[in-house]
Amino acid sequence: MPGLLDIAPLTENVPVRGAQAIVGGVPVKAIAVMLARFPDLRKMWASGKWDVEQLLGMSDEVIAALIAAGCTNIDEKNAGNLALDEKAELLAAIMRVTMPRGPGPFMAALTALMGTVGGAASPTAPASKSRKPSRS
């Protein structure tokens, strides 16, 4: 019986200017950081719709951050210097590796995991206000 590693590639290589960009997908922590950092990305996330056109219309800084988060060997500065077609190819590969079942199931699962967007996970029970017994 095949295991998870046999059926789901964990990386994808994308040729860029004679080199290979290694796409490993965007980790959950990086998504949380980007949602906090970029209001436009947070708004799109909160809408529940992953819109590639809207994503491509965001600032170069957002695109570079997504590429850097999804590729193990590209930083934000170098991602910002890529040509438009290179960025598009990398974003497509990042989406395939990060969200193999598509953006809908991914966003639903991740939103459930992270709690509400823009807020903390479900609140914890309030601390008890009863006094501790005296030791004297």
- One digit per residue, the tens of pLDDT, for the chain of length 136 reads 677 666 666 899 999 999 999 999 999 899 889 999 999 998 888 887 777 788 888 899 999 999 999 999 999 999 999 999 999 999 999 988 988 887 778 777 777 776 754 544 433 434 444 454 555 5
Where in the sequence is the domain holding 23, given as residue range(s)?
Answer: 4-114
Q: Report if residue 84 sits inside a domain.
A: yes
**Model pLDDT, residue 47:** 80
Q: Report if residue 119 sits inside a domain.
A: no
Q: Report if residue 76 sits inside a domain.
A: yes
Exposed/middle/buried for residue 24 (C-beta within 10 Å: 0-12, 13-18, 19+): middle
**Residue 130 carries which DSSP code?**
P
Q: Report if residue 31 sits inside a domain.
A: yes
Could you tell me how many residues make up the chain?
Answer: 136
Instruction: Give dist(CA 95, CA 131) in Å, integer.
Output: 53
The dihedral sign for the CA sequence 94, 99, 104, 107: negative
CA atoms within 13 A on the CB side of 101: 7
pTM score of the predicted model: 0.73
**Model pLDDT, residue 7:** 67
Q: Give first-to-last CA distance, the chain, whole Å.
A: 66
**Model pLDDT, residue 130:** 45
Q: Report if residue 132 sits inside a domain.
A: no
Q: Report if residue 126 sits inside a domain.
A: no
Domain total in the chain: 1
Q: Report if residue 134 sits inside a domain.
A: no
Q: Report if residue 129 sits inside a domain.
A: no
